[in-house]
């Protein structure tokens, strides 16, 4: 390597660390649909509605993409390009539940998390992770942070093995470079951009890879001869504004490897959710209430760890003949994170759902409309947080029936047959 191609020691010292991580969840919506219906595996899937409708494609599997189907395409045209595709209306509730499970997993790393969309998330790994579950050996000091790349690799593997989602990962010192790196790493790779080399990394890449380009901007840039990100980086501001409008300065900075945006870890997650498949479908109200209480208290504990409060409670059950999903939701007068308030609300919803579906095989609880403040806290908590945490740990290890309300035992709730939850 020539001297001018090498980074000087001064440049290296001035460069920021590569600590911003971006995960791009590949085929997220399609994966959720395939989890719900395994018969869709290895088949072209198009989400957005039926081909006889006026709608457009929301998402398409890789098999459909290979035949020219893209998000935004008319469903009728998608059907002509991929006639053997399975068309799915989509279920936003299921997508939110899956997103909530991913959010819970990535937040376990103990670092700031910012969702750019339902299938795109940034993490700030500048401090690494002190979570002992993230691949640290027992000999490592508890005070030692796990390196950023190790945290990213662990989370990428956990997403695949624990939740069933493939994700590409990009790590860089800026959000724009990390997001572009994750696109280049698709479908399941990890690309690490050395700190200080962002502009060189970006220079030869197609200008289409710049995130958040407005509609039509790519065509205008290429018509003007701006084919790569490096070409854009060399434009002056007036020329860039003619092609990109008001956001020209912002895109010029991205193209030059300059991006001062930080990961906003202050925003709460959209929702938290937990589901439980019962050992056997049942219509016993006490068994169902026991499962519901376990799920709701587990989520309430997670809210407290996140310093969040929920105002909307949703309960979904699956059962009946033929099997289908039933859901009810309620919005509380005030946001809360207390077990008693949330359990009372979810129990009332379950009572309504049992009128629609008598034999139930699975229960899901979702807490949404989350906020960081504005909630009314109880004057006298029902139990100290430490005690409550011990209860949840026992249930996590031994199943939701390991500890139940005494009234459930009085009515003869059968012992657990297998671990659930």
**Most confident segment among 122-136, 163-177, 366-380:** 163-177
Give the confidence band of 392 by pLDDT, cuts at 50, 70, 90.
low
364 in Cβ contact with 296 (< 8 Å) = no
pLDDT in tens, 107-133: 888 889 999 988 999 999 986 665 555
Structure-token pair, residue 386: 């430490």
Residues 34-48: what's their mean pLDDT?
93
| 300 HSE (CA, 13 A, CB side) | 26
pLDDT at residue 321, as a whole number: 82
pLDDT at residue 315, as a whole number: 94
Residue 64 has pLDDT above 90, yes or no: yes
Assigned architecture for domain 198-255: Orthogonal Bundle (1.10)
pLDDT in tens, 200-250: 999 999 999 999 888 889 899 999 999 999 999 999 999 999 999 999 999
Residues 162-166: what's their mean pLDDT?
94
Residue 384 has pLDDT above 90, yes or no: no
Give the confidence band of 277 by pLDDT, cuts at 50, 70, 90.
confident
pLDDT at residue 131, as a whole number: 59
Residue extents of the structural domains in the chain:
10-27+93-192, 198-255, 271-410
Residue 386 has pLDDT above 80, yes or no: no
SS (H, E, C) the chain: CCHHHCCCHHHHHHCCCCCEEEEEECCHHHHHHHHHCHHHCCCCEEECCCCCCCCECCEECHHHHCCCCCCCCEHHHHHHHCCCCEEECCCHHHHHHHHHHHHHHHHCCCCCEEEEECCEEEEECCCCECCCCCCCCCCCCCCCCECHHHHHHHHHHHHHHHHCCCEEEEEECCHHHHHHHHHHCCCCCEEECCCCCHHHHHHCCEHHHCCCCCCCHHHHHHHCCCCEHHHHHCCCHHHHHHHHHHHHHHHHHHHCCCCCCCCCCCCCCCEEEEEEEEEEEECCHHHHHHHHHHHHHHHHHHHHHHCCEEEEEEEEEEECCCCEEEEEEEEEEEEECCHHHHHHHHHHHHHHHHHHCCCEEEEEEEEEEEECCCCCCCCCCCCCHHHHHHHHHHHHHHCCCCCCCHHHHHCCCCCCCCCCC
CA dist 95 and 33 (Å) reads 9
Torsion-angle region of 122 (φ positive above 0: left; ψ -120 to 50: alpha; else: beta) = beta
In sequence order, the 6+-apart residues with CB closer than 8 A to the CB of 297 are 339, 342, 343, 388, 391, 392
Residues 353-358: what's their mean pLDDT?
91
Closest CA to 296 of 242, 236, 340, 233: 340
Position of tokens 């595996």?
41
Structure-token pair, residue 375: 């909630």
Total number of residues shown for the chain: 421
pLDDT at residue 383, as a whole number: 45
Residue 190 has pLDDT above 60, yes or no: yes
Task: Kindly report the average pLDDT of the chain as a whole number.
Answer: 83
pLDDT at residue 393, as a whole number: 54
CA dist 130 and 145 (Å) reads 5
Return the CATH fold of 10-27+93-192.
Alpha-Beta Plaits (3.30.70)
Residue 158 has pLDDT above 90, yes or no: yes
Q: Helices 248-255 & 237-244, crossing angle to 10 degrees?
A: 110
Proportion of the chain above pLDDT 70, given as a percent: 80
C-alpha R_g of the chain? 25
In sequence order, the 6+-apart residues with CB closer than 8 A to the CB of 75 are 46, 48, 49, 50, 51, 53, 54, 55, 56, 57, 87
pLDDT at residue 141, as a whole number: 43
pLDDT in tens, 1-28: 444 444 444 344 345 677 999 999 999 9
Residues 408-412: what's their mean pLDDT?
49
Residue 148 has pLDDT above 90, yes or no: no
Residue 78 has pLDDT above 70, yes or no: yes
In sequence order, the 6+-apart residues with CB closer than 8 A to the CB of 185 are 24, 168, 169, 170, 191
pLDDT in tens, 290-340: 999 999 999 999 898 888 899 999 999 988 888 888 999 999 999 999 999
Handedness of CA 40, 43, 45, 50 (dihedral sign): negative
Return the CATH fold of 271-410.
Dna Ligase; domain 1 (3.30.1490)
């Amino acid at each position: 390597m020539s001297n001018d191609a090498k980074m000087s020691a001064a440049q290296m010292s001035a460069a920021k660390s590569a600590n911003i991580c971006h995960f791009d969840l590949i085929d997220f919506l399609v994966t959720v649909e395939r989890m719900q219906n395994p018969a869709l595996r290895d088949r072209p899937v198009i989400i957005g509605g039926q081909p006889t409708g006026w709608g457009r494609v929301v998402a398409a599997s890789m098999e459909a993409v290979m035949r020219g189907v893209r998000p935004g395409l008319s469903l009728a045209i998608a059907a002509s390009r991929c006639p053997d595709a399975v068309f799915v209306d989509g279920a936003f509730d299921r997508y939110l539940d899956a997103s909530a499970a991913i959010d819970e997993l990535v937040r376990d790393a103990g670092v700031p998390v910012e969702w750019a969309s339902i299938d795109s998330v940034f993490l700030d790994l500048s401090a690494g992770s002190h979570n002992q579950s993230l691949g640290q050996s027992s000999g490592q000091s508890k005070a030692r942070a796990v390196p950023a790349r190790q945290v990213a690799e662990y989370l990428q593997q956990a997403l695949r093995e624990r939740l069933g989602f493939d994700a590409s990962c990009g790590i860089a010192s800026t959000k724009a470079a990390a997001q572009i790196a994750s696109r280049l790493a698709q479908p399941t790779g990890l690309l690490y951009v050395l700190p200080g080399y962002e502009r060189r990394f970006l220079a030869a890449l197609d200008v289409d890879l710049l995130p958040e380009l407005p509609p039509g901007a790519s065509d205008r840039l290429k018509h003007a001869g701006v084919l790569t990100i490096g070409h854009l980086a060399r434009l002056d501001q007036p020329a860039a504004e003619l092609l990109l409008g008001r956001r020209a300065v912002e895109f010029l900075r991205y193209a030059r490897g300059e991006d001062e945006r930080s990961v906003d870890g202050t925003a709460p997650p959209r929702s938290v959710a937990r589901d439980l498949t019962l050992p056997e479908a049942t219509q016993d109200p006490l068994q169902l209430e026991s499962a519901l209480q376990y799920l709701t208290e587990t989520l309430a504990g997670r809210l407290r760890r996140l310093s969040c409060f929920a105002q909307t409670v949703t309960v979904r059950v699956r059962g009946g003949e033929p099997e289908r999903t039933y859901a009810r939701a309620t919005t509380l007068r005030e946001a809360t994170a207390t077990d008693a308030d949330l359990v009372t609300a979810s129990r009332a919803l379950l009572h309504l759902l049992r009128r629609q579906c008598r034999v139930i095989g699975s229960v899901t609880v979702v807490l949404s409309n989350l906020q960081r403040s504005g909630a009314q806290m109880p004057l006298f908590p029902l139990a100290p947080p430490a005690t409550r945490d011990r209860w949840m740990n026992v249930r996590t290890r031994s199943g939701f029936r390991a500890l139940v309300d005494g009234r459930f035992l009085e009515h003869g709730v059968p012992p657990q047959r297998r671990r659930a939850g």
